[in-house]
Amino acid sequence: MAKLLELRDLSFGYDKDGPLLFEHLSLSVGTGEFLIIKGASGSGKSTLLRLICRLNTPRSGSILFKGRNTANIPPPELRSKVTYVAQIPQMIEGTIRDNLLLSFTFAQGRRKAAPDDATLERMLEAFYLHGVGLEQSASKLSVGQKQRLSIMRAILNVPDMLLLDEPTSALDAESAAMVFSIIERLNTEEGKTLIIVTHSDYSPAVPRVRKCIFRNGNLECA
Ligand SMILES: Nc1ncnc2c1ncn2[C@@H]1O[C@H](COP(=O)(O)OP(=O)(O)OP(=O)(O)O)[C@@H](O)[C@H]1O
Protein backbone atom coordinates (compact mmCIF):
# COMPACT_ATOMS: atom_id res chain seq x y z
CA MET A 1 0.00 0.00 0.00
CA ALA A 2 1.41 3.43 -0.98
CA LYS A 3 2.23 5.57 2.05
CA LEU A 4 0.49 8.91 1.88
CA LEU A 5 1.44 10.24 5.28
CA GLU A 6 4.18 9.30 7.66
CA LEU A 7 4.87 10.66 11.13
CA ARG A 8 8.40 9.81 12.22
CA ASP A 9 9.52 9.97 15.82
CA LEU A 10 7.45 13.06 16.48
CA SER A 11 7.72 15.08 19.70
CA PHE A 12 5.65 18.11 20.57
CA GLY A 13 5.05 20.47 23.48
CA TYR A 14 3.28 23.83 23.44
CA ASP A 15 5.85 25.80 25.43
CA LYS A 16 9.30 25.92 23.90
CA ASP A 17 11.07 24.70 27.03
CA GLY A 18 8.04 23.19 28.73
CA PRO A 19 6.87 19.59 29.03
CA LEU A 20 6.17 17.47 25.98
CA LEU A 21 2.61 16.48 25.16
CA PHE A 22 4.01 13.42 23.36
CA GLU A 23 7.32 12.09 22.09
CA HIS A 24 8.60 9.36 19.75
CA LEU A 25 5.23 9.17 18.06
CA SER A 26 5.18 7.36 14.73
CA LEU A 27 2.32 6.58 12.36
CA SER A 28 1.96 5.55 8.77
CA VAL A 29 -1.21 6.16 6.76
CA GLY A 30 -1.79 4.58 3.37
CA THR A 31 -3.70 6.11 0.47
CA GLY A 32 -7.41 5.40 0.88
CA GLU A 33 -7.26 4.55 4.58
CA PHE A 34 -9.94 5.73 7.02
CA LEU A 35 -8.45 6.42 10.44
CA ILE A 36 -10.57 7.08 13.49
CA ILE A 37 -8.78 8.64 16.46
CA LYS A 38 -10.32 8.57 19.89
CA GLY A 39 -8.90 9.45 23.29
CA ALA A 40 -9.64 11.37 26.45
CA SER A 41 -10.20 15.10 26.32
CA GLY A 42 -6.83 16.87 26.33
CA SER A 43 -4.87 13.81 25.17
CA GLY A 44 -3.59 15.62 22.06
CA LYS A 45 -5.89 14.54 19.21
CA SER A 46 -6.52 18.04 17.79
CA THR A 47 -2.86 18.93 18.25
CA LEU A 48 -1.88 15.95 16.12
CA LEU A 49 -4.19 17.03 13.27
CA ARG A 50 -2.84 20.58 13.53
CA LEU A 51 0.74 19.31 13.29
CA ILE A 52 -0.08 17.35 10.13
CA CYS A 53 -1.26 20.48 8.32
CA ARG A 54 1.50 22.73 9.75
CA LEU A 55 -0.67 24.77 12.08
CA ASN A 56 1.77 23.63 14.77
CA THR A 57 5.45 22.73 14.41
CA PRO A 58 6.97 19.57 15.90
CA ARG A 59 9.69 19.96 18.53
CA SER A 60 11.54 17.11 16.81
CA GLY A 61 10.86 14.37 14.29
CA SER A 62 9.34 14.75 10.87
CA ILE A 63 6.09 14.50 8.94
CA LEU A 64 6.18 13.27 5.37
CA PHE A 65 3.38 13.71 2.88
CA LYS A 66 3.85 11.69 -0.31
CA GLY A 67 7.47 11.29 0.76
CA ARG A 68 8.12 15.03 1.13
CA ASN A 69 8.92 16.57 4.48
CA THR A 70 5.98 18.89 5.19
CA ALA A 71 8.42 21.41 6.72
CA ASN A 72 9.48 22.06 3.11
CA ILE A 73 5.98 22.28 1.63
CA PRO A 74 4.56 25.83 1.66
CA PRO A 75 1.46 25.80 3.93
CA PRO A 76 -1.02 26.89 1.19
CA GLU A 77 0.17 24.07 -1.06
CA LEU A 78 0.06 21.54 1.78
CA ARG A 79 -3.39 22.64 2.93
CA SER A 80 -4.81 22.36 -0.60
CA LYS A 81 -3.86 18.66 -0.43
CA VAL A 82 -4.38 18.00 3.27
CA THR A 83 -7.41 19.96 4.41
CA TYR A 84 -8.17 20.39 8.10
CA VAL A 85 -11.66 21.06 9.42
CA ALA A 86 -11.45 22.50 12.93
CA GLN A 87 -13.80 21.47 15.71
CA ILE A 88 -15.14 25.03 16.01
CA PRO A 89 -16.21 26.10 12.53
CA GLN A 90 -14.69 29.34 11.30
CA MET A 91 -16.62 31.48 8.81
CA ILE A 92 -15.47 34.66 7.11
CA GLU A 93 -17.75 37.68 7.02
CA GLY A 94 -19.79 37.34 3.83
CA THR A 95 -22.31 35.09 2.16
CA ILE A 96 -22.52 31.33 2.22
CA ARG A 97 -21.22 31.32 -1.37
CA ASP A 98 -18.19 33.45 -0.31
CA ASN A 99 -17.45 30.95 2.42
CA LEU A 100 -17.87 27.85 0.28
CA LEU A 101 -15.65 29.25 -2.46
CA LEU A 102 -13.02 30.62 -0.08
CA SER A 103 -10.20 28.36 -1.28
CA PHE A 104 -10.80 29.43 -4.89
CA THR A 105 -10.01 33.05 -4.02
CA PHE A 106 -6.42 32.07 -3.18
CA ALA A 107 -3.75 31.49 -5.83
CA GLN A 108 -3.50 27.79 -5.00
CA GLY A 109 -7.26 27.27 -5.35
CA ARG A 110 -7.60 29.25 -8.56
CA ARG A 111 -5.88 26.40 -10.39
CA LYS A 112 -9.08 24.39 -9.91
CA ALA A 113 -12.40 25.28 -11.58
CA ALA A 114 -14.78 26.82 -9.05
CA PRO A 115 -18.11 24.97 -8.81
CA ASP A 116 -21.20 26.78 -10.14
CA ASP A 117 -24.23 27.76 -8.05
CA ALA A 118 -26.27 24.72 -9.16
CA THR A 119 -23.53 22.41 -7.84
CA LEU A 120 -23.34 24.31 -4.55
CA GLU A 121 -27.12 24.20 -4.15
CA ARG A 122 -27.20 20.44 -4.75
CA MET A 123 -24.51 20.05 -2.12
CA LEU A 124 -26.42 22.18 0.41
CA GLU A 125 -29.40 19.83 -0.07
CA ALA A 126 -27.21 16.75 0.37
CA PHE A 127 -25.97 18.21 3.66
CA TYR A 128 -29.55 18.73 4.89
CA LEU A 129 -29.21 22.49 4.55
CA HIS A 130 -32.58 22.84 2.85
CA GLY A 131 -33.77 26.40 2.50
CA VAL A 132 -30.30 27.85 3.09
CA GLY A 133 -29.54 30.29 0.24
CA LEU A 134 -26.13 31.04 -1.23
CA GLU A 135 -26.71 34.79 -0.78
CA GLN A 136 -27.45 34.45 2.92
CA SER A 137 -24.96 35.74 5.47
CA ALA A 138 -22.92 32.87 6.93
CA SER A 139 -22.66 34.54 10.33
CA LYS A 140 -26.37 33.97 11.00
CA LEU A 141 -26.15 30.18 10.75
CA SER A 142 -26.25 27.88 13.77
CA VAL A 143 -23.06 26.15 14.89
CA GLY A 144 -24.30 22.83 13.47
CA GLN A 145 -25.03 24.48 10.10
CA LYS A 146 -21.58 26.12 10.11
CA GLN A 147 -20.02 22.76 10.93
CA ARG A 148 -21.62 21.22 7.83
CA LEU A 149 -20.61 24.23 5.68
CA SER A 150 -17.00 23.91 6.80
CA ILE A 151 -17.00 20.22 5.80
CA MET A 152 -18.54 21.15 2.42
CA ARG A 153 -15.87 23.82 1.96
CA ALA A 154 -13.14 21.28 2.67
CA ILE A 155 -14.59 18.79 0.17
CA LEU A 156 -14.84 21.49 -2.52
CA ASN A 157 -11.11 22.05 -2.06
CA VAL A 158 -10.65 18.51 -3.53
CA PRO A 159 -7.86 17.47 -1.16
CA ASP A 160 -6.10 14.09 -1.13
CA MET A 161 -6.61 13.87 2.61
CA LEU A 162 -9.22 15.28 4.97
CA LEU A 163 -8.54 15.84 8.68
CA LEU A 164 -11.85 16.20 10.51
CA ASP A 165 -11.85 17.27 14.14
CA GLU A 166 -15.06 16.10 15.80
CA PRO A 167 -17.09 16.83 12.64
CA THR A 168 -20.45 16.01 14.20
CA SER A 169 -20.06 17.44 17.72
CA ALA A 170 -22.74 20.10 17.13
CA LEU A 171 -25.14 17.90 15.17
CA ASP A 172 -28.25 15.93 16.09
CA ALA A 173 -28.19 12.17 15.47
CA GLU A 174 -29.88 12.40 12.06
CA SER A 175 -27.55 15.11 10.71
CA ALA A 176 -24.51 13.32 12.17
CA ALA A 177 -25.47 10.08 10.39
CA MET A 178 -25.86 12.02 7.14
CA VAL A 179 -22.43 13.68 7.50
CA PHE A 180 -20.81 10.31 8.27
CA SER A 181 -22.46 8.71 5.23
CA ILE A 182 -21.10 11.50 2.97
CA ILE A 183 -17.65 11.05 4.50
CA GLU A 184 -17.78 7.29 3.95
CA ARG A 185 -18.70 7.78 0.28
CA LEU A 186 -15.75 10.13 -0.15
CA ASN A 187 -13.57 7.32 1.06
CA THR A 188 -15.13 4.37 -0.78
CA GLU A 189 -16.11 6.08 -4.06
CA GLU A 190 -13.41 8.73 -4.43
CA GLY A 191 -10.59 7.04 -2.55
CA LYS A 192 -10.00 10.00 -0.23
CA THR A 193 -7.86 9.35 2.81
CA LEU A 194 -9.48 10.44 6.04
CA ILE A 195 -8.41 11.00 9.62
CA ILE A 196 -11.32 11.68 11.93
CA VAL A 197 -11.18 12.62 15.58
CA THR A 198 -14.42 11.77 17.31
CA HIS A 199 -15.84 11.08 20.75
CA SER A 200 -18.89 9.36 19.26
CA ASP A 201 -19.32 5.59 18.97
CA TYR A 202 -19.20 5.94 15.22
CA SER A 203 -17.88 2.89 13.43
CA PRO A 204 -17.65 3.44 9.68
CA ALA A 205 -18.91 0.85 7.21
CA VAL A 206 -15.85 1.05 4.99
CA PRO A 207 -13.31 -1.69 4.22
CA ARG A 208 -10.12 0.17 5.10
CA VAL A 209 -10.94 1.53 8.53
CA ARG A 210 -8.31 1.64 11.31
CA LYS A 211 -9.11 2.61 14.88
CA CYS A 212 -6.56 4.42 17.05
CA ILE A 213 -6.57 5.57 20.65
CA PHE A 214 -4.47 8.44 21.94
CA ARG A 215 -3.44 7.48 25.46
CA ASN A 216 -0.60 8.67 27.72
CA GLY A 217 1.18 10.34 24.83
CA ASN A 218 0.98 7.22 22.66
CA LEU A 219 -1.13 6.56 19.62
CA GLU A 220 -2.20 2.94 19.69
CA CYS A 221 -3.69 1.77 16.40
CA ALA A 222 -5.38 -1.56 15.75
N1 LIG B 1 -2.61 26.70 22.04
C2 LIG B 1 -2.33 25.97 23.11
N3 LIG B 1 -1.41 26.40 24.01
C4 LIG B 1 -1.08 25.67 25.10
N5 LIG B 1 -1.65 24.47 25.40
C6 LIG B 1 -2.56 23.99 24.54
C7 LIG B 1 -2.95 24.72 23.37
N8 LIG B 1 -3.88 23.98 22.70
C9 LIG B 1 -4.07 22.87 23.42
N10 LIG B 1 -3.29 22.88 24.52
C11 LIG B 1 -3.19 21.81 25.55
O12 LIG B 1 -2.66 20.65 24.92
C13 LIG B 1 -3.34 19.48 25.38
C14 LIG B 1 -3.92 18.73 24.18
O15 LIG B 1 -4.93 19.53 23.59
P16 LIG B 1 -5.78 19.01 22.35
O17 LIG B 1 -6.71 20.10 21.97
O18 LIG B 1 -4.87 18.49 21.31
O19 LIG B 1 -6.56 17.79 23.00
P20 LIG B 1 -7.76 16.90 22.45
O21 LIG B 1 -7.38 15.48 22.69
O22 LIG B 1 -8.08 17.27 21.05
O23 LIG B 1 -8.94 17.32 23.41
P24 LIG B 1 -10.55 17.42 23.18
O25 LIG B 1 -11.02 16.00 23.01
O26 LIG B 1 -11.04 18.04 24.45
O27 LIG B 1 -10.78 18.29 21.98
C28 LIG B 1 -4.37 19.95 26.40
O29 LIG B 1 -3.83 19.81 27.68
C30 LIG B 1 -4.56 21.40 26.06
O31 LIG B 1 -4.89 22.15 27.21
For the segment 70-116, what is each residue's pLDDT rounded down to a tens digit?
999 999 899 989 999 999 999 999 999 999 999 888 766 566 788 99
Centre of ligand 1 from the C-alpha of residue 47, in Å: 6
Around ligand 1, the residues with Cβ closer than 6 Å are 14, 21, 39, 41-47
The fraction of the chain above a pLDDT of 90, given in percent, is 73
Which residue's CA lies nearest to atom 17 of ligand 1?
A: 46
Across 204-209, average pLDDT: 90
Nearest CA among 35, 140, 148, 99 for reference residue 52: 35
Please give the number of the atom of ligand 1 that sits closest to the Cα of 199: 25
Question: In whole angstroms, what is the distance from residue 52 CA to residue 6 CA?
Answer: 9
pLDDT tens, residue by residue, 118-146? 999 999 998 889 889 999 999 999 999 99
State the CATH architecture for 3-221. Answer: 3-Layer(aba) Sandwich (3.40)
Please give the number of the atom of ligand 1 that sits closest to the Cα of 48: 18
Query: Is pLDDT at 216 greater than 80 in this prediction?
Result: yes
Please give the number of the atom of ligand 1 that sits closest to the Cα of 87: 27
Which residue's CA lies nearest to atom 13 of ligand 1?
A: 42
Mutate to test the pocket of ligand 1, among 16, 21, 163 (most ligand atoms within 8 A of CB): 21
Domain ranges for the chain, please list them.
Answer: 3-221
Under the banding of pLDDT at 50, 70 and 90, the label for residue 1 is low
